Amino acid sequence: MGTREIALVTGASKGIGAAIARSLAAAGYDIWLNYRSDHAAAEQVAQSIEAMGVTCTKVPFDVADAAAVKAALAPLLEVQAPFVLVNNAGFTRDALLFWMSEEEWKSVLSVHLDGFFHVTHCVLDRMARRRKGRIINIVSTSGQTGVAGQVNYSAAKAGVIGATRALAKEIARRNILVNAVSPGFIETEMTEALPKEQMLAHVPLGRFGTPEEVAGVVAFLCSDAATYITGQVIGVNGGVFI
- Among residues 88, 89, 87, 90, the alpha carbon closest in space to that of 133 is found at 87
Question: Where in the sequence numbering do the catalytic residues fall?
Answer: 153
Torsion of CA 39, 40, 46, 49, to 10 degrees: -150
The answer to whether the Cα torsion of 137, 119, 34, 228 is positive or negative is: positive
Residue 115 CA neighbour count, 13 Å, CB half: 30
